[in-house]
Structure 1
C-alpha cells in the first residue's frame, strides 16, 4: 500500500473518530438539557402543589387572621348569634343567611313583616347567624363585607334596620357591590343614626371579619345544605313547602299559649 493511501485511511479514521466524539458531546449536552428541564418541571409542579395545599379549604371570603371580635350583645356558642326579640319568648327562630343570597332576600321579603310583628309582641326570639357561601361560590367579598357591616350596625344597636336595608337593596347575585365600603355607607345613611365615624371605622377596618369567618365555619360544619336555613324551635320550616307567614304566626301564637 502506498504512503498516500495509508495517509488517506488514517485521515478518514481520524475524521470518523472526531465525528464520534462530536456525537458523544452532543448526546451528553442533550441529556443534560433533558435532566435540567425535568428538574425545572418538578420544581414548578412542587410550587403549584404548595400553593394549592396552602389554599386548600379556603375561599375568598375567609379572613381568620387575628382574634374573632364578636359584635356587641352577641350570644350563644363562640358568641356567633345576633339575638333579636324577647329572651324568654316561647318560640325561637334560627335564621342562617348570606347577604348576597337571592333566596335569603326572597325569604326576608316574604316573612319580614310577620317576624317583626312577632318579635315586637314578645312571642318570638330570632337568632341571626351569618354565612358567606356566595363569596366562596362566586368569588368576591361582598358577603363578608356586608356581614361585617351588619355586625358593626349591631354594635350601634341598629342591626335589624340595617339588616333589612341590605336585603331591600341587595344587588344581583353576581354583582359584588357589597364589597365596596361606599355602597355599605350609602345604605347605612338610610338608617337613622347609623352612619357615624365609629360605624365607618368598624367597616373600613373589617373589625368583625374574623368573627364572620368563624360564623361561616360553623355553618359549613353544621351540615346545612344552603341559605337560608330557617329553624323554628329546631324544625327546618324553610323546607316545608306548605309554610306561609300566616302559618308561622299561627304556630308561634299556639306555642305562646302553652
Structure 2
C-alpha cells in the first residue's frame, strides 16, 4: 500500500534537520557567552581586589601629619640619596663616601651666605662625585629662620634633594640682601629651583614642618652648637673665618 501523502503543514525532513542545526548553534553561542561572561566577571573581581589593596596601602593612618617629618615624598627615588637623618638634618650623597660634612646653619643668615659663597659649587661636585656626603641641619631661632627652614623641608619633601639643594643655595645666597623672606618670596624661590607651586605653597604657608624645625634647633643646642654656621668635617669642628672653613672642607673633599 503506498505511503499516505505528507501533510502540507508538516515540516519536511530537511527542514527538521536545519532546525536541529540552528538549535545546536544557539546552544553553542549561549555556552560561549556564558564562559566569556564568567571570565570577564573573574577579571573584574581580580581588578577590584587589586584596587582595594592598593588604595588600602596608600590610605593615610589616622593622625598622619600631626608630627610631620620631611621625606615621605620624592626622596625615595632620588639619585642623590636625599634623606632625613635622626639628627634633624637632611643628608645628600652616598653614606659610603669617605667624608661627611655637617653644616649647622641659619638659612637666612649673612654669615651662612658668606660660607656658601666660599664653598661655591665645589662641595656639590664632591657630593655628586661620591667623595662626600653633606648634611644640612637648619638651626632656626626666630620666625624668619623658622619659615625658611620649614620651606626647605617642604621643597625637599615635595620635589626631592636636587631641587631642594638648588632652593637651599638660592635662599642662602639671598640672605645678604637683608630682606626677610615672606611666603611669596619662598614660593617664588622654590618655583625657580624647580618645584611645583601648588605642591609647595600649602606646606610653606601652613608651616607644615614647624615642629620638626623646632626639634632640630633644640637638638643643635643639646649638641653644644652655640653659633651658626658651625661646620663639622668627619665629626670634628672646623674653625676660622668662612673662607678658612670652606678651604679646609674643600681640601679634604676635593
Question: Could you state the TM-score of these two structures normalised by the residue count of structure 1?
Answer: 0.63
Matched, 1:233 2:234: yes
- The Cα shift of 1:96 comes to 0.5
RMSD: 2.2
- The Cα shift of 1:223 comes to 1.3
- How many corresponding residue pairs? 177
User: Any unmatched runs of 5+ in structure 2?
Assistant: 1-64, 76-82
Superposition pairs of residues 1-258 of structure 1, within 5 angstroms: 67-72=66-71, 73=75, 74-77=83-86, 80-133=88-141, 135=142, 141-155=143-157, 156-157=159-160, 158-170=163-175, 172-173=177-178, 175=179, 177-178=180-181, 180-192=182-194, 194-239=195-240, 243=244, 245-252=246-253
Partner-residue secondary structure (3-state), 2:231? strand
> Do the aligned partners of 2:105 and 2:228 also contact (CA within 8 Å) in 1?
yes
**Aligned equivalent of 1:58:** none
- The Cα shift of 1:238 comes to 3.6
Question: Could you state the TM-score of these two structures normalised by the residue count of structure 2?
Answer: 0.64
Aligned partners of 1:106, 1:81: CA distance in 2, in Å? 21
> Do the aligned partners of 2:70 and 2:84 also contact (CA within 8 Å) in 1?
no
Over residues 134-165 of structure 1, what are the superposed CA-to-partner deviations in whole Å (9 max), with x where a residue is unaligned?
Answer: x1xxxxx1100110000011112121010001
> Do the aligned partners of 1:69 and 1:208 also contact (CA within 8 Å) in 2?
yes
